[in-house]
Structure 1
Amino acid sequence: MQQYKTNPPTCQTPEDAHWDWKMKASEWRKYLAFSSFSLICDGELQGLLLINNSKFAKLNEQFGKPLVYIEFVATAPWNRPELQSPPKYRGTGSIFILAAIEASKHLGFKGRIGLHSLSQAANFYEHKCGMTQLGKDPNHQNLTYFEMTEQQAEQFCHNRL
């Protein structure tokens, strides 16, 4: 089994390192609007995703339309290029974006998704996923808010084929 860095420099400590996933899963499990996903490969957890289907779009062109909101998403440390070179597996984040898009389509939301990003992940959402940045949200810990339109979802899925 490949080892990963267990004590990265402070500047590389993942912003989500303090998340208690067991608590998060039990907290949201009782609500029908929430769904959780895990990615397991070779018997090992590679990442986790929690989505909410009760939110609405803020972007002008889709304002007020329902979307799938990504509450939490995390990739295992050994899959993060900034912590492990080379990462054990690549693409966990993209797989979760695809899962959120598919959940959105399944619900009739046409691939629309939204999320508030930790600063270390903002570049991924804007440049790798092609999401639209709507700026910092003072009502949500001043995190940067992103949305993906139907067209952006189609483009993201097309680029992954």
Structure 2
Amino acid sequence: MTFTIDDIRRALDATPPIISPGGIISRGTLAGQCGAVDYTIHLGWDLLIANLCDRTWGAFNITLLRYIRKLEAQGIDIDPILESAQLEDNHWRWLDKTLHYRGNCYTWFFLVAENYPQAACLVYHPKASVVGAGDIFYIEYIAAAPWNRENVLAERVFKGVGPKLLDHVICYAKDDLKLQAGFSLHSLPKAVAFYEKIGMKAFPQYDKEGLRFFEWVDSESQAKGQSNANP
């Protein structure tokens, strides 16, 4: 019997949305609207968490877009609102991606708090650095839950979940995957400023489909790699 993605999604929707403690590789606290909240970092392929990303993140974005349309109906200019809204990844379907990206070269990470996914990241490894010698990892997808981003609907629930998850990914890649301390990615247009801010370097020759290519490599690791390559 062959199951479709819709069949799998319906089965997951009928399952209690209780995230398993299995796969937890780290714990910490987040600063939230109502004080400190515990979070966990989950490693590995997880259909339930991916489906929760689709359900909960998608529901918030629908509510957000309805609110923006309501503002438009009231005669408010929504062009600046849409320009600042971080909806470029609204079409992403995390369950589809989880079913598609499988194998030892792909690793999934989820940041969970209050029994909901607050951020997600998929990386590919190893990836040759374009800056220096050695292998790093490549971020296929990374995103924070939409309620953790600036929006006109409500104050952000948690701040900094994307960078916090990325820090854990970098540490895992270095300590467990034994890669150089660095990563590359193709940035969504509205995320370019963030990657420039954290010191990533653009390499236009690797841009694709309107997405700018960035790479960051720890300066100490880069110097060590170049030294090893040129004894």
TM-score by length of 2: 0.57
Aligned to 1:119: 189
Q: Specify the SS of the correspondent of 2:91.
A: coil
* Equivalent of 2:93 in 20, 43, 64: 20
CA distance in 1, matches of 2:218, 2:114: 34
**Structure 2 counterpart of 1:150, from 199, 202, 218:** 218
Determine the structure 2 residue equivalent to 1:42. 114
Deviation at 1:85, TM superposition (A): 4.8
Moved more, 50-59 or 18-27: 50-59
SS where residue 103 of structure 1 aligns?
A: helix
Q: Does 2:138 correspond to 1:69?
A: yes
Q: CA RMSD in A?
A: 2.3
Residues 92-134 of structure 1: per-residue CA shift (max 9 Å, x gap)? 110122123113212222311111100111111110x221122
Name the SS of the counterpart of 2:203 in structure 1.
strand
Residue 171 (structure 2) aligned to one of 73, 79, 102:
102
Higher helix share: 2
SS in 1 for 2:140: strand
- Count of residues in Structure 1 that have an aligned counterpart in Structure 2: 145
AA of the residue aligned to 2:163: S
CA distance in 1 between counterparts of 2:149 and 2:158 reads 8
Q: Check conservation: 2:86, 2:190, Cα contact below 8 A.
A: no
Letter paired with 1:150:
D
Alpha carbons 1:131, 1:152 under 8 Å: kept: no
**2:104 aligned partner:** 32
TM-score w.r.t. the length of structure 1 is: 0.79
2:201–2:215 contact (8 Å) kept in structure 1? yes
Structure with the greater alpha carbon radius of gyration: 2
Q: Distance in 2 between matches of 1:136 and 1:108?
A: 28
5+ residue gaps in structure 1? 154-161
Q: Percent identity?
A: 28
